[in-house]
Amino acid sequence: MNCVDFIVAAERECFENSWDETAVRAVTDSGYGVCVCEEGVGYALGRISFDEAELYRIAVLPGERRRGAGQRLLGRFIGECRQRGAERIFLEVRSRNVPAISLYERAGFVKLNIRKGYYPDDDGIVYILQL
């Protein structure tokens, strides 16, 4: 299974509003995509443009959670962004996603803004990591 196929399958398993293959390929095939994939475990997917990166999605399969995979994937994503010249990484997360917020804050991300009503049922929080 290639990385795109794994991401699409993991999307279905991890998210209600999963991305389809077209959406995943729009990132991976763009030339700006940053993809960190551990088949059978999880992935981190985003983009980099000039000196800014954005983490779009990070997912760990349910059977692999709470074993450090999210931290490892995020660390590899950050390293790839740094290596490709990013000076900062942005991300947005649901305000109720406490495990993800904890992961991001442990990695050094700082809350930048709250997007009230960003989701139909929740606020979005924008985080930034200066590299």
- Residues assigned a catalytic role: 92, 104
Which residue is listed with tokens 């074993």? 67
Q: Which of 48, 46, 53 is nearest to 19 (CA)?
A: 46
* Alpha-carbon distances, residue 110 vs 31, 77, 83, 105, 124 (angstroms): 28, 17, 21, 6, 14
Give the integer Cα–Cα distance in Å for 35 and 46. Answer: 7
